[in-house]
């Protein structure tokens, strides 16, 4: 049996550069980065003082239900917002409302949700700190006052599958589902798994979501001590690059089989062609200099899509700005695609939106789809001089033109995890 095609019928994204995919892409085309001074705490004396925050963060603009705000975190709000964009744009609920009761029930049962969720920022623990101080290292005193000091909703707020649950509850989507927590690869894997559910007949439509909000004191401190953060900007593949910087945000894709989309006359934005993932098994932070894991993820995605390297029109690199990651990623791209004019144009998005960790891959896929539809490969505004280690990449400070309507998006995470996603625009 031939697997059904996986069509994209709705998208959503939010980050420091905008509240919608088109806004985010336009900011990149204008050369605007959302990286700036951190406003969530006093960074006086802090080793890193900048990140790509969502300025004037307004919970009501993201999630209207104020009662729900007590049960979810900042990251969950971002995921719910992006999911709502994708579901509304796809018209899932508007179509279901036209069906009779039995058909509507079947529609709900055949609608799945797949979420890439962050591992949880340390701020989930901060509610305990005042009581720990007051208890003066006395566990008994701490335990006696715990119930009256810490919000009883603490546990519910910290669940990693909050977005999956609340999207299902709000929209009555009752089909196959999974919550994937795999560092930066989580969002990309949610798309791959959501697409596979459609291919295997487990659902007729799915929503893939990735979300994260890691801009908080301990996360910044620990990443800095690991030598992973820059001081002022992300400079992917540049000779002067010095590390990455956090962002916050979410991305979502509404996916469905060709038959499902045709039956309801859905607008088709694009198609998920294939995905691949691989681990380097080198260590929590260590990566191979030759980019072997990236190469295997890319070739896996090409094989899954039934494509050759020449079919790829543009590459959205992981491009996190750290020296080892960028150099090894460039090596992998060169090995698969060649160098110079033989290779497709390459770009990277983190210089503008920061590193969204679990949301990185899926949000960048949403932006890539928007870029394909606009026939543009956004330039990297922070690129001044390409590192000789990355020579051969067709990456530029200026915008380029994709050579086809197909994009490859690369995502990497801790423990040597690598994922690649291939999409086509319509």
CA distance 373 to 280: 34
Q: What is the pLDDT of residue 3?
A: 84
Same domain, 339 and 249: yes
Which stretch of DSSP H or E encloses residue 112?
strand 111-117
How do residues 359-415 score in pLDDT, each as one tens digit? 999 999 999 999 999 999 999 999 999 999 999 999 999 999 999 999 999 999 999
Instruction: Say how many domains are in the chain.
Output: 2
Q: What is the pLDDT of residue 126?
A: 86
CATH code of residue 180: 3.40.47.10
Same domain, 413 and 333: yes
Q: b/e for 363-388, b at 16 or more Cβ within 10 A?
A: bbbbbbbbbbbbebbbbbbbbeebbe
Domain membership of residue 388 as a residue range: 6-120+158-425
Residue 1 lies in a domain: no
In this structure, what is the dihedral angle of CA atoms 337, 375, 351, 268, given to the nearest 10 degrees? -100
Same domain, 137 and 282: no
Residues 6+ apart with CB under 8 A from 308: 302
Q: What is the pLDDT of residue 342?
A: 87
Residue 355 lies in a domain: yes
Same domain, 68 and 92: yes
Q: What is the pLDDT of residue 1?
A: 66
Same domain, 220 and 145: no
Angle of helix 323-337 versus helix 292-305 axis, rounded to 10 = 40
Same domain, 148 and 162: no
Same domain, 399 and 321: yes
Q: Residue 126, SS3?
A: helix
Same domain, 144 and 116: no
Mean pLDDT per 10-residue section of the chain, whose length is 426 residues: 91 98 98 97 95 95 91 95 98 97 98 92 84 90 87 85 97 98 96 98 98 95 96 98 98 98 96 97 92 97 98 98 97 95 95 98 98 98 97 96 98 95 97
Q: What is the pLDDT of residue 5?
A: 96
Same domain, 143 and 186: no
Burial tier of 293 (Cβ tally within 10 Å: 0-12, 13-18, 19+): buried
Same domain, 166 and 107: yes
Residue 404 lies in a domain: yes
pTM above 0.85, yes or no: yes
Same domain, 116 and 134: no
Same domain, 187 and 323: yes
CA distance 326 to 382: 14
Residues 6+ apart with CB under 8 A from 197: 112, 114, 176, 203, 206
């Amino acid at each position: 049996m031939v697997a059904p095609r996986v069509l994209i019928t709705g998208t959503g994204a939010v980050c420091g550069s905008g509240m919608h995919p088109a806004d985010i892409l336009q900011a990149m085309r204008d050369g605007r980065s959302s990286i700036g001074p951190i406003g969530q705490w006093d960074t006086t004396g802090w080793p890193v003082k900048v990140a790509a925050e969502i300025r004037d963060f307004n919970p009501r603009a993201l999630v209207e239900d104020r009662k729900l705000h007590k049960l979810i975190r900042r990251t969950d709000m971002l995921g719910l917002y992006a999911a709502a964009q994708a579901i509304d744009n796809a018209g899932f609920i508007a179509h279901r409302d036209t069906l009779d009761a039995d058909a509507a029930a079947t529609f709900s049962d055949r609608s799945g949700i797949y979420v890439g969720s962050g591992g949880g920022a340390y701020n989930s623990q901060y509610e305990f700190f005042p009581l720990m101080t007051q208890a003066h290292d006395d566990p008994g005193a701490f335990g006696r006052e715990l119930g009256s000091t810490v919000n009883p909703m603490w546990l519910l707020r910290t669940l990693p599958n909050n977005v999956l649950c609340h999207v299902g509850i709000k929209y009555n989507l009752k089909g196959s589902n999974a919550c994937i927590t795999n560092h930066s690869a989580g969002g990309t894997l949610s798309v791959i798994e959501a697409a596979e559910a459609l291919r295997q007949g487990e659902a007729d439509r799915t929503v893939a979501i990735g979300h994260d909000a890691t801009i908080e004191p301990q996360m910044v401190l620990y990443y800095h001590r690991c030598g992973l953060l820059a001081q002022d900007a992300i400079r992917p593949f540049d000779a002067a690059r010095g590390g990455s910087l956090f962002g916050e945000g979410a991305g979502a894709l509404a996916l469905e089989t060709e038959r499902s989309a045709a039956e309801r006359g859905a607008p088709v934005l694009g198609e998920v062609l294939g995905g691949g993932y691989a681990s380097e098994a080198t260590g929590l932070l260590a990566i191979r200099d030759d980019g072997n894991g990236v190469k295997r993820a890319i070739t896996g995605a090409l094989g899954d899509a039934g494509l050759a390297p020449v079919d790829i029109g543009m590459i959205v690199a992981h491009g996190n700005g750290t020296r080892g990651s960028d150099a090894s990623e460039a090596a992998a791209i060169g090995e698969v695609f060649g160098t110079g004019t033989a290779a497709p144009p390459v770009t990277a998005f983190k210089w503008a939106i920061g590193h969204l960790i679990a949301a990185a891959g899926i949000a960048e896929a949403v932006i890539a789809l928007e870029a394909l539809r606009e026939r543009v490969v956004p330039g990297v505004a922070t690129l001044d001089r390409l590192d000789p280690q990355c020579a051969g990449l067709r990456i530029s400070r200026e915008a380029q033109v994709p050579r086809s309507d197909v994009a490859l998006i690369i995502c990497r995470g801790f423990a040597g995890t690598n994922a690649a996603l291939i999409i086509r625009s319509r």
